[in-house]
Chains A and B, each alone.
Chain A
């Protein structure tokens, strides 16, 4: 019997959401394994074997290979399941799409990761998490808004859904839902987000559509 793809995910984790979107876009079925970041079942030995750094998401392939790091996972999926393409073929366009993803992956999301929030809490108990993250995100959302002026169509890059959209939607959602980002301040991002969020592949990947949603 063929093993299925297994995704270890937390409903609210925006890095998990990126991979959920990509799997949906590639029409790849997977088993959902919920990892609870807050209750710390993430810390359990079982999950440590799968992901020593105890983060989500992890994708386990049919042959048992374990993949981590959402950007690397999605690029791998694009290599082995090329339809529909999530990265363009032209090197310059690829670089722009990747740059957009990295602006989020390394420029934005790290500041809202549970690890950093816990570290700051351990030294400055009771600090305003929302304020801390909002300051960083605001500068970055302004940069993203500027970036997409020359790239966007209906979506981040023209009228074709790409890996950039897999990164944008979860970042916008977490920014609005948890860190007081006002999307009205970023009209182009808002328009792109509104075009994407109701596409079935994106909708089904939303936190409130996951089995572990609370």
Chain B
């Protein structure tokens, strides 16, 4: 059985949980509360050299890291209930949305940014300000991108990883800071439809055993 190291408030963990659920794969869950720096142990460093979440350890003890890479592995190894189109151009389209969220929205939520700014400036910003800036900018971009491709989901009526990544990003930002994403009608339509999928709903941070408000 796989072991997933993650945390309730980690959108990256939520992405992997969603795909594990969707492919009916069982796993043990080990919670590492990053607000308490529980991932900053030597033991976890052996699993993930950068000590970030999530990691997925296989039964054979292979350490898989980085949510996009983990999810691609699950898609490669378990073709059932696929979330990635086979056609190279469609596959590219799905990946470009996932990569955008993974590298142009989520990383900019890291507390090191607002901590650094506040150490350098009299004008202070809050972590919420920082999340707001990057989420609004990024979600607007995605909203524009999917205008011409969406049906129920980002790409027609077929659920893909793009929907998983979009859902996890919106859900985690909303759970934490209650941002109003309603102006982004395309994205919020996808979110509403994706939430009807039980495996997506079940992977939400609020249902995780380690969730605290």
Interfacial residues, chain A to chain B (CB-CB below 8 A): 52-53, 65, 67-69, 71-73, 75-76, 79-80, 91-92, 94-96, 98-99, 101-103, 105-107, 109-111, 116, 119-120, 123-125, 127, 132, 135-136, 139-140, 142-144, 146-147
Contact = CB atoms under 8 A, between A and B. Distances in A.
A52 B69 contact: no
Interface in B134-148: 141, 144-145
A76 B50 contact: no
A95 B92 contact: no
Contacts of A52: 141, 144-145
A98 B72 contact: yes
A98 B50 contact: no
Contact of A146 (B49, B70, B77, B102): B49
Prevailing SS type, chain A contact patch: helix
B95 interface: yes
Interface of B: 49-50, 52, 58, 62, 64-66, 68-70, 72-73, 76-77, 88-89, 91-92, 95-96, 98-100, 102-104, 106-108, 112-113, 116-117, 120-121, 123, 125, 133, 141, 144-145
A110 B107 contact: yes
Nearest to B76: A91
A162 to B, nearest CB: 13
Given A65-B89, A92-B62, A127 B69 contact: no
A79 B76 CA distance: 14
Given A102-B66, A143-B50, A75 B92 contact: yes
Contacts of A53: 100, 104, 141
Nearest to B51: A143
A76 B76 contact: no
B3 to A, nearest CB: 15
Given A69-B103, A76-B91, A99-B69, 19 more contacts: A52-B145, A69-B100, A71-B95, A71-B103, A72-B98, A76-B95, A80-B88, A91-B73, A92-B64, A95-B73, A96-B69, A102-B102, A103-B50, A106-B66, A111-B107, A127-B117, A136-B112, A139-B50, A146-B49
A135 B106 CA distance: 19
A136 B62 CA distance: 27
A12 B145 CA distance: 26
Contacts of A140: 50
